[in-house]
Amino acid sequence: MAQFSRVSGSVGLITLQNPPVNALSAAVRQGIVDTVNKALQEPEVKSVVICGQNKVFCGGADIKSFRGVMTGPPLIPMIHAIEASTKPVVAAIEGIALGGGLELALACHYRISHTKARLGLPEVTLGLLPAAAGSQRLPRLIGITAALDLITTGRHVTAAEALQLGIVDHVTDQNTVDVALKFASSVAGKPLDARRISLYPCPPSDDTDALFEEAMQRVRRSARGAIAPVACVQAVRAAATLPYAQGLEREKELMATLFTSGQARALQYSFFAQRAVGRWSMPSGAQWDTVEPLPVQKTAVIGLGTMGRGIVVALTQAGFSVVAVETHEKQLTQAKQAIEEMLIRGAKRRGVTPEHDTITYSHSMEPVANVDLVIEAVFEDMVLKEKVFQQLSAVCKPGTLLCTNTSGLDIDHLASKTPNPELVVGMHFFAPAHVMKLLEVVYGRQSSPRAVATAMQLGKKMGKVSVAVGNCLGFVGNRMLKPYMNQAFFLLEEGASPELVDQALEEFGFIMGPFRMSDLSGIDVGWRIRKEEGLAVPDQRTGQIPRMQKGCRYSPVGDLICEQGRFGQKTGQGWYRYDKPGGRVARPDPWMQTFLNQYRATHGLVPRRIDPKEVLERCLYALINEGFQTLEEGIAAAPEDIDVIYVFGYSWPQHRGGPMFYADMVGLEKIMDRLEHYHQAHPDVPSLQPCNLLRKLVAIGSPPIHKWSQVMKTLRSQL
């Protein structure tokens, strides 16, 4: 809806009304058409102001309506009618003007913004482009380079930057609508052609071809395989090279392709999935809207290695005081310096003053006594963690929440070592913890809903996408990664090279394939865990690590290369070779080829040609099957939870939605058939056997992903 009122006798005020973000639903568009007509028809009205209810201008087109039948007046003619108006129209921008919201403002003759407003054209993040003439008006207003930046990244700008770029005419910290009303009165009757952006020529640039070529390369590099950023560049190019009307036609054509694409569906699914994970629930029935989080102001981090440092930075940047504890003298000094540097860099990026004095560094636990919440990030060693939790229980004030950043150890076991197991939860951050957006909040059998609510809220305040998951080895993300990595190892045994496997998965859209990723994070990390699990241990009789363990196929290739001291980038050699220890550029290593040939010969394995399709199917379908298993067990509550974990924690390409969304796109029946096919070929690999939930879903006709949660409720008793 939109409401019309007349203010001070001669200014028509149109207020968009569709909380919470005044999205341009059919009713809002109809409201705008009706109220603009009214303003034009009423002779007393000399100028018009458009604003949004509740101090929010407009969040753009109604994304929810994209998947249904479009009704109501179309957006584009409505926006053109505003620009063509013979009475001046002023946009009063408060809160946000995003997507279609900014396009609406660009059709107005003047734009006045509140200092705290944010503006942008984020359509690209939804797999679209600004197709209500945004791709044609913005370059005409602010130039090609700046428009390319905003349109291809979708980033939001502050009012100050918008003013500097020339997107808005005036910024105020007063009541924006009042300022706009006054301004509208002052411009009544003035000529408008100079204010109609569609009439502007696109500002020329030195070498347009080179500029667009460079932009195209940049977007192709940064979002491998994503089509929307490419279309955005093409649309801006049309603005730069074609008359306005023809540019609009091109914008429309490009949008038609994007609008119905699988990528747009995936990205819009991901948008809503990120919001859905905030509505968490626990098997007990406790959920996000009924549980009050505990108040948290003072925090502590124990262990200042790779993870602890990032967590201290993220907590400090979110405004919490932190007691940072590290027992190792040298580590403490290095951590202090690293944390300070990260804070300075972060503050510079955000244009704020760095916070230092809210951190207290300590060798001992004493200063932890009066904190509200502790995050433990010591070595991944259960005995050590037990000891730390016992110390914390003795020193902390009653009611302090004890969280662990373990990558996958048993939360219940750790909780059982404390007098208050209800106050123990996992807070599993991802490296680097001040950058990566994902946080898995892991509840154990006894974790209280308030403890979970507190960790979820803390994650939100730290700018994380937090997902509540159940407790099991590896939780959701790392658990699903195991069958994926196993398949990558098995493929090497059967004839593939690390490059072949990585290339297939990088072409799918991962930033790095499993071997380049393993080189980056350190191959020895998994090796140490496997040794602790008793897997990477030679058989006393043969002296070799067995290739069958507990009745299942096991590949020791990773263990064997670690035995050679090849730990990845840090040692300059791993699955690839690097020019020096710490080097970043991975090059295929002839040593690896020789090693694999010898390994295969030793074990009587005859290498075969493996094609990329097999790599994708085996790695991804094994991971997806494990995803279904976590849903079946209730460890992940919904497919959206898994998808958000994979997109934000494991760099699953966002334009493919996430593993469970991808499974839905591929078709559950196909996934099941291919898993069965591979399981027949490899009966000693249980993770290739389709799990019960997948079979059941196929048996009932493969319902679409948004119906799985409903179906799971019914099926859970039968599974």
Ligand X SMILES: NC(=O)c1ccc[n+]([C@@H]2O[C@H](COP(=O)([O-])OP(=O)(O)OC[C@H]3O[C@@H](n4cnc5c(N)ncnc54)[C@H](O)[C@@H]3O)[C@@H](O)[C@H]2O)c1
Q: Give which of ligand LNIPZVSO, ligand X, none residue 131 binds (C-beta under 5 to 8 Å, depending on kind).
A: ligand LNIPZVSO
Q: Give which of ligand LNIPZVSO, ligand X, none residue 256 binds (C-beta under 5 to 8 Å, depending on kind).
A: ligand LNIPZVSO
Site for ligand X in 300-319 (CB under 6 A): 302-308
Closest contact distance (angstroms) between CB of 325 and ligand X is 5
Among 94, 123, 355, 493, the active-site one is 123
Which residue, 274 or 327, has its beta carbon nearer to ligand X? 327
Positions touching ligand LNIPZVSO (CB under 6 A) are 20-21, 23, 59-64, 75, 96, 98-100, 103, 122-123, 126, 128, 130-132, 134, 255-256, 259-260, 272, 275
**Whose CA is closest to 514, among 598, 620, 408, 630?**
620
**Is residue 447 part of the contact set for ligand X (CB under 6 A)?**
no
The residue count of the chain comes to 719
**Is residue 466 part of the contact set for ligand X (CB under 6 A)?**
no
**Whose CA is closest to 47, among 57, 39, 55?**
39
Site string for ligand X, 115-154 (x = CB under 6 A): ----------------------------------------
Question: What six digits make up the tokens of 354?
Answer: 């760095």
Q: Give which of ligand LNIPZVSO, ligand X, none residue 308 binds (C-beta under 5 to 8 Å, depending on kind).
A: ligand X
Q: How many other β-carbons are positioned within 10 Å of the β-carbon of residue 489?
A: 21
CB-closest chain residue to ligand X: 305
Closest contact distance (angstroms) between CB of 409 and ligand X is 7
* Position among 10, 17, 331, 446 found at the interface with ligand X (CB under 6 A): 331
Which residue, 64 or 387, has its beta carbon nearer to ligand LNIPZVSO? 64
Tell me if residue 123 is catalytic.
yes
Which residue, 75 or 592, has its beta carbon nearer to ligand LNIPZVSO? 75
- Cis-peptide, bond into residue 20, ω within 30° of zero: yes
Which residue, 517 or 647, has its beta carbon nearer to ligand LNIPZVSO? 647
∠ CA 571-576-577, nearest 5°, is: 55
Which residue, 211 or 322, has its beta carbon nearer to ligand X? 322
Closest contact distance (angstroms) between CB of 291 and ligand LNIPZVSO is 18
Among 103, 493, 499, 614, the active-site one is 103
Site for ligand X in 265-284 (CB under 6 A): none
**Whose CA is closest to 516, among 508, 526, 527, 505?**
505
Instruction: Quickly list DSSP for 383-436.
Output: HHHHHHHHHHHHHSPTT-EEEE--SS--HHHHHHTSS-GGGEEEEEE-SSTTT-
Report d(CA 68, CA 259) in Å as an integer. Answer: 12
CB-closest chain residue to ligand LNIPZVSO: 99
Give the DSSP H/E element, type plus range, for residue 709.
helix 708-716
Which residue, 57 or 575, has its beta carbon nearer to ligand LNIPZVSO? 57
**Contact by Cβ (8 Å): 103, 147:** no
Single out the segment in contact with ligand X by CB under 6 A; choices: 80-88, 297-305, 442-450, 642-650.
297-305
Report d(CA 98, CA 132) in Å as an integer. Answer: 12
Site for ligand X in 511-540 (CB under 6 A): 521
Exposed e or buried b for every residue in 313-346, given b needs 16+ CB within 10 A? bbbbbbebbbbbbbeeeebbeebbebbeebbeeb
Based on the number of CB atoms within 10 Å of its own CB, is 96 exposed (0-12), middle (13-18) or buried (19 or more)? buried
Site for ligand X in 341-400 (CB under 6 A): 377-380, 384, 388
**Whose CA is closest to 424, among 440, 394, 445, 408?**
445
- Cis-peptide, bond into residue 432, ω within 30° of zero: yes
* Position among 97, 215, 325, 610 found at the interface with ligand X (CB under 6 A): 325
Which residue, 20 or 683, has its beta carbon nearer to ligand LNIPZVSO? 20
Closest contact distance (angstroms) between CB of 259 and ligand X is 38
Report d(CA 510, CA 615) in Å as an integer. Answer: 13
**Whose CA is closest to 88, among 51, 49, 32?**
49
Phi and psi at residue 494, to the nearest 5°: -85, -10
Closest contact distance (angstroms) between CB of 659 and ligand LNIPZVSO is 21
Residues 6+ apart with CB under 8 A from 57: 16, 22, 51, 91, 92, 93, 94, 95, 96, 97, 101, 105, 117
Which residue, 256 or 344, has its beta carbon nearer to ligand LNIPZVSO? 256
Q: Give which of ligand LNIPZVSO, ligand X, none residue 51 binds (C-beta under 5 to 8 Å, depending on kind).
A: none
Which residue, 256 or 700, has its beta carbon nearer to ligand LNIPZVSO? 256
Instruction: Quickly list DSSP for 318-344.
Output: TT-EEEEE-SSHHHHHHHHHHHHHHHH
Question: What six digits make up the tokens of 388?
Answer: 């730390």
Residue positions annotated with a catalytic role: 103, 123
Question: Which positions touch ligand X (CB under 6 A)?
Answer: 302-308, 325-328, 331, 377-380, 384, 388, 405-407, 429-431, 521
